[in-house]
């Protein structure tokens, strides 16, 4: 399938994990992909693996100037933005008694401020072309109230509600905005954190047994980022083997 032939996509958090898997899928289906990450070397490695259709951009999405520079680079190279996938996020493990305001702001700066800045800049470009697909990555933790990450859960709840409002704001320009809410996923970040110990418990709650991988998340993102999803906006889809059913 070449659903994204001629399309230009920006994917944040593309150096590893879910973000990288999404970027690879869009490139495989024909998109020109800006692989974006604060880890510039990681983004370069990801882009190189994707071939000529991809290029890397180092960007701190929580910084307005960095986001503006990113979009200038994409416009200079490609002339437009058709798809934005916001996968970059900080996934902390902090007990409530240890949660400081500085730590709260560290997470919000990326997970919510960064989301706003990316959507603001990309949607302004999309509106000129009267076309766009925005897919934001939330988390099924917003339905479960997962412990030891209150600020993360709050930020991802914000992703869901912001996306609903964004769909209303952009619908008149034929731009859709939707959310994917993955469950616990076997990524580099998770494997190197205390969250890695939770897979057994999560498996008990899932309708489909097994450990989720980035490849399990990608198809839903690709669909919502495609022209086929033109009549779907403001929605959140849990992709978590049926752990959350609502």
Residue 94 is part of a domain; what is its CATH number?
3.40.50.720
177, part of any domain = yes
- Active site residue: 122, 152, 202, 218, which one? 152
245, part of any domain = no
pLDDT band at 174 (very low <50, low <70, confident <90, very high): very high
Least confident segment among 106-115, 197-206, 220-229: 197-206
C-beta of residue 182 within 8 angstroms of C-beta of residue 240:
yes
pLDDT band at 190 (very low <50, low <70, confident <90, very high): confident
34, part of any domain = yes
User: Which H or E run contains 76?
Assistant: helix 64-78
Q: Is pLDDT of 164 > 80?
A: yes
For 116, list phi and psi in degrees, rounded to 5.
-60, -50
131 included as an active-site residue: no
The average pLDDT across 147-156 equals 95
What pLDDT score was predicted for residue 204? 85
User: CA nearest 244: which of 138, 112, 150?
Assistant: 138
1, part of any domain = no
Q: Is pLDDT of 198 > 80?
A: no
- Measured between alpha carbons, how far is 181 from 199 in angstroms, rounded to an integer? 17
168, part of any domain = yes
What pLDDT score was predicted for residue 40? 97
Stated pTM of the model: 0.95
Q: Exposed, middle or buried, 134 (CB in 10 Å: 0-12/13-18/19+)? A: buried
Structural domain for 167, as ranges: 8-239
246, part of any domain = no
Give me the number of domains the chain comprises.
1
Tens digit of pLDDT for each residue in 21-76? 999 999 999 999 999 999 999 999 999 999 999 999 999 999 999 999 999 999 99
Q: Which residues of 12-39 are buried (b: 16+ CB within 10 A; e: fewer)?
A: bbbbbbbbbbbbbbbbbbbbbbbbbbbe
2, part of any domain = no
107, part of any domain = yes
């Amino acid at each position: 399938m070449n659903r994204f032939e001629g399309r230009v996509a920006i994917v944040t958090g593309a150096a590893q994990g879910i973000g990288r898997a999404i970027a690879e899928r869009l490139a495989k289906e024909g998109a020109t992909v800006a692989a974006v990450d604060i880890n510039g070397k990681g983004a370069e490695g990801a882009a190189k693996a994707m071939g000529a259709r991809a290029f890397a951009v180092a960007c701190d999405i929580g910084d307005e100037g960095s986001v503006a520079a990113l979009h200038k680079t994409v416009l200079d190279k490609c002339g437009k933005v058709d798809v934005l996938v916001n996968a970059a996020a900080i996934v902390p493990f902090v007990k409530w008694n240890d949660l400081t305001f500085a730590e709260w702001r560290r997470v919000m700066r990326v997970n919510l401020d960064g989301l706003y800045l990316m959507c603001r800049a990309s949607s302004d470009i999309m509106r000129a072309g009267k076309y766009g697909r925005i897919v934001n990555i939330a988390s099924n933790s917003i339905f479960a109230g997962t412990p030891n990450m209150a600020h993360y859960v709050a930020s991802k709840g914000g992703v869901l509600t912001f996306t609903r409002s964004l769909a209303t704001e952009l619908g008149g320009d034929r731009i859709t905005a939707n959310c994917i809410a993955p469950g616990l996923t076997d990524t580099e970040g998770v494997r190197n954190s205390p969250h890695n110990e939770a897979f057994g418990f999560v498996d008990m709650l899932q309708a489909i047994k097994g450990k989720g991988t980035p490849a399990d998340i990608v198809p839903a993102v690709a669909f919502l980022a495609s022209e086929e999803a033109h009549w779907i906006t403001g929605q959140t889809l849990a992709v978590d083997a049926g752990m959350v059913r609502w």
